[in-house]
Amino acid sequence: MKPTEAEIACFEAGVKLGSLYHQFSGAPVSIDSIESLSSAIEKSIENQPYCTEVSVEIFKDKVQNSMNEKYRYTELKGDMMEVRVEIEYKDTEVVSKMKVDGGYPLMFVESIEKK
């Protein structure tokens, strides 16, 4: 059986979120670098096929609470960010997200629409 457009679009969304999470978790981040790191993550993931939009919000309070006082930075973790990815595959648009649920970052499909 051949996968549907929606299934392919959902798969692509999962690839983008998994890539983002595993590529950037552990990256050094400070209060001063939140904005530039968010932008770099967005631009990196937007390069991938079928990806039309990415938004990454890194939570300043979570970075601040995790920061090493002596060195003034910490490692980026999944619970420090919320991510939204839009995929367009042929006539199908998928919106997927990563957000923390019960202390654990989960990836999920928010919506699937036929154009």
Find out whether 109 and 7 touch, Cβ atoms under 8 Å.
Answer: no
Residue from 68, 73, 98, 100 nearest 85 by CA: 98
User: What is this structure's pTM?
Assistant: 0.92
The pLDDT, as a whole number, for residue 103 is 81
Per-residue pLDDT of 43-69, as tens digits, reads: 999 999 999 999 999 999 999 999 998
Q: Two tokens at 72?
A: 């003034």
Domain ranges of the chain: 5-114
5-114: CATH number: 3.30.1300.20
Per-residue pLDDT of 66-86, as tens digits, reads: 999 899 999 999 999 999 999
Find out whether 81 and 58 touch, Cβ atoms under 8 Å.
Answer: yes
